[in-house]
Amino acid sequence: MEELSLLQRVAVWVLPVLFAITIHETAHGWMALRLGDPTARMLGRLTLNPIKHIDPLGTILVPGLLLMFSGFLFGWAKPVPITAQNLRRPKTDMAWVAVAGPLSNLLMAIFWALVARLGLAIGSGSPELALFLIYSGMAGMFVNILLMVLNLLPLPPLDGGRVVSALLPGPMSWRYDKLEPYGFFILLGLLMTGILGKILWPAITLALVGLAPLAGLNEENMSFLLTSLLN
């Protein structure tokens, strides 16, 4: 397989990243609506329009700079507003709202694995389209698995932190939630020191290896594709 130029790398990342953040946030709002909170729908955030979810800093600038200058992709979208008091069982339902985001990323990773498989099936019949689908599929698998694993970390305000908060008894949950204002800075510190990568990579690698048969790729091909996308 051919290696990609910078312009080609940006092109194959755009759709997977936009869909990953858009569907992740929409999934939170959809689950909240199912459990009694219409806030996201009322504010126009229950939509697949990526413009409604884009954060200029977290969705465009930070991921773009990291994609150009490092081997790690990190970013965020505007959180979908949830009014916990509207939920039928606020404490328990917030956990389900939180889980909906990472679950949507898992389903999208499976979808992108099938896109990569389609590219392999097209093969020499249309090599440019095949290459685009294979690399886009790999990018989609990676970014969605990354978002899923990252958001499952037990750190407020990440989705995993919401789940932990819902599982803890009242007083402990309240104390745990007080970490939320510092969560982003803790995450940034872990990223800058390289600790975050060491925490995430084993789980990301395991999930990608699990998706490889569905994508029609072996570990060697998957490693080559991922290296071309990130370096």
Domain ranges, ordered by start, for the chain: 6-230
Pick 70 or 24 by higher pLDDT.
24
Q: Global pTM?
A: 0.89
**Residue 33's pLDDT band (cuts 50, 70, 90):** very high
Q: Under a CB-based contact definition with an 8 Å cutoff, are residues 186 and 199 in contact?
A: no
Region of poorest pLDDT, from 9-13, 151-155, 199-203: 9-13
Query: pLDDT over 90 for what percent of the chain?
Result: 53
pLDDT digits (tens, 9 = 90+) for 125-181: 888 899 999 999 999 999 999 999 999 999 988 999 999 999 998 889 999 999 989
Active-site choice (25, 128, 180, 219): 25
- Encode 51-70: b = buried (16+ Cβ within 10 Å), e = exposed: ebbbeeebbeebbeebbeee
pLDDT at 98: 95
pLDDT digits (tens, 9 = 90+) for 187-199: 888 888 889 889 9
**Residue 39 pLDDT > 90, yes or no?**
yes
Query: pLDDT over 70 for what percent of the chain?
Result: 90
**Has 128 been annotated as catalytic?**
no
Residue 122 to residue 45: CA distance in whole angstroms: 37
